[in-house]
Amino acid sequence: TKKHKTHNYAVYSEELDQRSAYKLSIERELKTAIAKQQLVLYYQPIVALPNTKLSAMEALIRWNHPDLGMVPPDHFIPVSEESGQIVAIGRWVLYTACLQNKAWQDQGHPPIKICVNISTIQLHQPNFVQTVKSVLEETGLDAKWLELEVTESILLEETDSLKQSLCALKELGISLSIDDFGTGYTSLSYLRQFSFDRIKIDRSFIEDINNELKGKAITSTIISLAHRLGMAVVAEGIEDEAQLAFLQSERCNEGQGYYFSRPLPAELHDLPRLFNPSR
């Protein structure tokens, strides 16, 4: 009936209002989050297989909010992408992560890569390559120790300017990886055209390794495809020995997940132990 519909609409629009009010407050408070030093980076180890020695760290952002506590990236990164705030936040992430990696090197640890997540919005900024270049200069980090992770969705638009940016980034000497591989619609022709250094198999496939035969089939197919295209493979979300054993038998190059370590603040990582794993 009409009445019912009206009622439904009212509920729906109230929900919508609440959601947009939440988004607006996030957006407003995010504006000062950098200045108030509320943004923090956690780091999660990426280890070489089969020896499980530390080979890289992925920087993962959190928002230490005075009332809400540690806000995970899924709660504010999408909002910041809509508002454009991701550009400033992304630069802060890049700078902070590179500075931390340089600090580890200066402390005498063997050099490793720092992997930084880059939003499609950042990559589309005309001055993005210049931003990366200045961050490397400001922090003194050698380009070969920086890797940018982009998601598959970036490959949907095969524009010339995007291709140029990706080429210019590679010319700086940094490496590039495709994040969450297998969840989007990557055109294989694009993979062939443009040389990414690594792909990261999405956690959902690693989860399926223990549950169903298809999980194993998909994972091993992705690994051999990547290898035949000259790319290394990182498996994300490794949580147990069985997943690790399967990935090692399939010659997966690197692994990341709670089995090795959760993401932690830099000072809580025991680097000497990560470089000399006992397992």
Per CB under 6 A, residues contacting ligand C2E are 44, 60-61, 72-74, 77, 93, 117, 119, 179-180, 203, 236-239, 256-258, 263
Q: How far apart are CB 30 and ligand C2E at their closest, in Å? A: 13
CA 32/CA 88 separation, integer angstroms: 11
What x/- string results for residues 171 through 200 when contact with Ca ion is judged by CB under 5 A?
Answer: --------xx--------------------
Task: Give 117 or 175: the residue with its C-beta nearer to ligand C2E.
Answer: 117
Contact partner, 218, from Ca ion, ligand C2E, none, Cβ < 5-8 Å per class: none
Task: Tell me how far apart the alpha carbons of residues 215 and 202 are, in angstroms, rounded to a whole number.
Answer: 11
9 binds, among Ca ion, ligand C2E, none (CB under 5 to 8 A by kind): none
CB closer to ligand C2E, 180 vs 250 = 180
Cβ distance to Ca ion smaller for residue 147 or 149: 149
- 152 near Ca ion, rule: CB under 5 A: no
Select from 89-97, 114-122, 131-139, 227-235 the region that touches Ca ion (CB under 5 A): 114-122
Q: CB nearer to ligand C2E: give 43 or 145.
A: 43
| Closer to ligand C2E by Cβ: residue 52 or 256 | 256
By the criterion CB under 5 A, which residues form the site for Ca ion?
Answer: 117, 149, 179-180
